[in-house]
Copies of this chain bind each other. A is one copy, B any other.
């Protein structure tokens, strides 16, 4: 079975190839009758334009590259991939995925030089690759950074992300509103600013709520989110029995904390309230479902895609820095303090 080409369509419809091309690209200046003829020819022949031929003649790959940290199957990365895929398809672009520890920089530059992609979206981790950034800048590659590590020193990129501090404050404000005054915090050091910013939000909320900040109620994990959450909760709740709520830097930390709380023989939310951050796949699926700060990865992805396409279409587009709102998602891991059934 040989391919149906635009020429076949033109022949069938009795028009020139240019006219078919006009119809395909929704260009104006086509008579209603001609339009009809061409459309029916396309339909009966089941014609689909050849992607590579189009790319070659247009000088446009019609694809964008998404670079995420390794591994792709982490809760956050995979969600970003999910929504970025959706958003780019909706905008008529294909998505090329990149990920990996080493050689990633070269891979991406090659993809751009080889016209496989017209622009790039970088997630937090790859955006810290100095080499990559400087190459993208010097080659004038259109790119957008998602959830940037602020203070990154980027010069030309557009940014799309959230305000970590304000968002974390949302979580703590909520607990305070529920009557909690003894609130622990578990953070992990990823080498990025997100953790520090979220911790700052915790502190700010306490201060505004007239609650003294206690350094010893902050547990700083070092490695694996779940396990740090686990050790953190164990540590905080064994040493400071007055703590009634725990805020965590990410949902997987919260999941670890929840595990530890159960192992201590305490109940959630009756004895201890827990609140997460991110709203990952598992957040709504564990028992009890986790109250958390929802990060709008869908909007982040679609905003990044649209901004990138704008930059591709018009290279003089000014860089922007877009901050999207997060929101508190109340599920079942936080109780008002008054309703607590027992005190230790």
Q: Give the interface size class of chain A.
A: 35 or more
A76 and chain B: residue at smallest CB distance: B73
Tell me how many chains of this kind the complex includes.
2
- Return chain B residues, CB-CB under 8 Å to A100: 86
**Contact between A115 and B3 (Cβ–Cβ < 8 Å)?**
yes
Kindly state whether residue A46 has any CB partner on chain B within 8 Å.
yes
A71 and chain B: residue at smallest CB distance: B82
Kindly state whether residue A74 has any CB partner on chain B within 8 Å.
yes
- Return chain B residues, CB-CB under 8 Å to A227: 285, 287
Given contacts A260-B287, A285-B226, A286-B259, contact A94 B82 (CB under 8 A): no
**Contact between A72 and B48 (Cβ–Cβ < 8 Å)?**
no
Kindly state whether residue A51 has any CB partner on chain B within 8 Å.
yes
**Contact between A285 and B252 (Cβ–Cβ < 8 Å)?**
yes
Kindly state whether residue A91 has any CB partner on chain B within 8 Å.
no
- Return chain B residues, CB-CB under 8 Å to A74: 281
- Return chain B residues, CB-CB under 8 Å to A53: 52, 56
Query: How distant is the Cα of A252 from the Cα of B86 in the complex, in angstroms?
Result: 26
17 residue pairs bridging A and B, Cβ less than 8 Å apart: A1-B139, A3-B115, A49-B114, A50-B114, A50-B115, A51-B55, A51-B61, A51-B115, A72-B78, A73-B81, A82-B99, A86-B100, A225-B285, A252-B285, A259-B286, A259-B287, A263-B267
Residues of A within 8 A of B (CB): 1, 3-4, 46, 48-53, 55-56, 61, 71-75, 77-79, 81-82, 85-86, 89, 94-97, 99-100, 107, 110, 113-116, 139-140, 224-227, 230, 252, 255-256, 258-260, 262-263, 265, 267, 281-282, 285-287
| The 7 A-B residue pairs with the shortest CB-CB distance in the complex, in nearest-first order | A262-B262, A78-B78, A52-B55, A48-B113, A73-B78, A72-B82, A230-B287
